[in-house]
Amino acid sequence: MKKIENTSKTNFIKKIFIKLCRIMGYEIIDQSNFYSPTANKLVNDILSVQGKKSINLPLGEVKITRRVKSLDIIIRTCASVQMLTQNKDRIFKKDKIEYTLRSINSILKSIQFAKNIHQNISFNIILVDHNSSNENLTRIENVIKKFNFEYKLHNLKISEFIEKINQTNQKNEKTSDNQLSNMCNIYKSLELSKSSQDLIYFVEDDYIHEKESISEIIFTYERIASLTKNEIVICPTDYPFLYMKAEDTKIFLGENYHWRKINESLCTFLMSKQTVKKHWNKLIGMCQQEHYPFETPLHEIYREEICISPVPSLAIHFTNINSAFGLSPNKDWKKLWDENK
């Protein structure tokens, strides 16, 4: 009888202690069963609270001072062009529309997953399309309708931007029609970002994403921006070319991924509206004349702002298998491809 009374008393004290810890914002970890009674979750569950705290064991808690309020995803599509600057086949040798559809499907799956975790964030989906056929536009819209998401589709008008672009590149050669289309599409995307409220994800239509990509990006943005007390840039892809030269870097810890500082990326990246506004002239400069490499103005921004990419990759660029700008190492490309059919 006495033993039962002692157990009851112990449980009562434990409950009071847990409540006090919750009120004071402390976390408790029960090592015997891998459980957090304050969060009422297993340790392997998501312990971080978006906009408030980032928790990573065994490092503990980071107080979030830079809360993400909204995320606009601006997807640039062009199903009529197989490859922008190469005459090589993509892996799996499908028509371009197949890569577009699977990329969009993967992004929407990732948004759906993120919506359940980040319920205080506004997600906006915007497509800027150039020259896709009506049939392919219908197929794109049918993919989006499956998820019951609201979206905006802008049909790019080259005439709105062509006079703003130098049609002679830095090599003093004529810029190709495909590249001019690409530059106009980026220009339009940047113009649309002016109405964004917070984060903007500029993404091309041949990047297939892991389901957790968007959530990991949001958690990581808040954590690293809060730690560094600065806005950051995020690239979702671990490109092969990042391993082709020895460079000093910095390693950061995100929610479930490691991230490293990089100095170069392609044109799929995430920035805050504040960063876009700060570096507007450089970003627009990328659209006004073809540079070599094309992303040179973007790389100049990375000299001033921290840009990070995940290890392993959160999104895979489905190009030719031998491209240094394509398939991320140590990933199951076929599995990700099949999951987004």
CATH number (domain holding residue 82): 3.90.550.10
179 shares a domain with 89: yes
Residues 115 and 22 in one domain: no
How do residues 303-312 score in pLDDT, each as one tens digit? 999 999 999 9
Give the model's confidence band at 231: pLDDT under 50 very low, under 70 low, under 90 confident, else very high: very high
**91 and 34 within one domain:** no
Helix (H, G, I), strand (E, B) or coil at 26: coil
Domain assignment of residue 178, yes or no: yes
Question: What residue numbers bound the domain in which 116 lies?
Answer: 70-339
The reply to whether 269 and 212 lie within a common domain is yes
| pLDDT greater than 60 at residue 10 | no
Instruction: Output the average pLDDT for the chain.
Output: 90
> What's this model's pTM, rounded to 2 decimal places?
0.90
| Ordered DSSP codes for 28-85 | --BTTTTEETTTTEETTS---BTTTEEEETTTEEEE-SS---EEEEEEEE-TT-S-SS
Q: What's the distance, CA 305 to chain centroid?
A: 17
Neighbours of 228 (CB within 10 A): 12
d(CA 208, CA 228) in angstroms, rounded, equals: 29
Do 118 and 224 fall within a single domain? yes
Cβ-based neighbour number of residue 9 at 10 Å: 10
pLDDT at 25: 59
| Packed helices 213-228 and 96-117: angle between N→C axes, nearest 10 degrees | 60
What whole-number distance in Å separates Cα of residue 87 and Cα of residue 320? 10
* Domain membership flag for residue 51: no
Composition of the chain by helix, strand, coil, percent to 5: 40, 20, 40
Identify whether residues 159 and 244 lie together within a single domain: yes
Split at pLDDT 50, 70, 90, the class of 234 is: very high
Considering the domain architecture, whether residues 20 and 86 belong to the same structural domain is answered as no
Give pLDDT, residue 22: 59
Predicted confidence at residue 114, as pLDDT, reads 98
The tens digit of pLDDT for each residue in 160-191 reads 999 999 999 999 999 998 999 999 999 999 99
